[in-house]
Amino acid sequence: MQLFVGLGNPGAKYARNRHNIGFMAMDAIAADHGFGPWRAKFRGRVAEGLLGGEKVLLLKPETFMNLSGEAVAEAARFYKLAPGDVTVFHDGLALAPRKMRVKRGGGHAGHNGLRSIHAHLGPDYARVRLGIGHPGHKDRVAGYVLQDFAKADAGWLDDLMRGISDGASWLAQGKPDRFQNAVAQRVAPAPQPAKPPKAKQPAPTPQDPPQDDRSALRKLVDRFR
147 pLDDT above the threshold of 60 = yes
Concerning whether 137 is annotated as a catalytic residue, the answer is no
Average the pLDDT over 76-94 and give the result: 96
Residues 65, 17 contacting (CB under 8 angstroms): no
Cα–Cα distance between 44 and 61 in angstroms, integer?
4
47 forms beta bridges with 58
219 pLDDT above the threshold of 80 = no
Model pTM score: 0.83
Residues 100, 180 contacting (CB under 8 angstroms): yes
Question: Residue 17: what pLDDT?
Answer: 97
Cα–Cα distance between 122 and 153 in angstroms, integer?
34
222 pLDDT above the threshold of 80 = no
Give pLDDT tens digits for 20-57: 999 999 999 999 999 999 999 999 999 999 999 999 99
Domains defined for the chain, CATH in brackets: 2-159 (3.40.50.1470)
Instruction: Name the band, by pLDDT with cuts 50, 70 and 90, for residue 216.
Output: low
Average the pLDDT over 151-155 and give the result: 95
From the candidates 19, 90, 111, 118, which is the catalytic residue?
A: 19
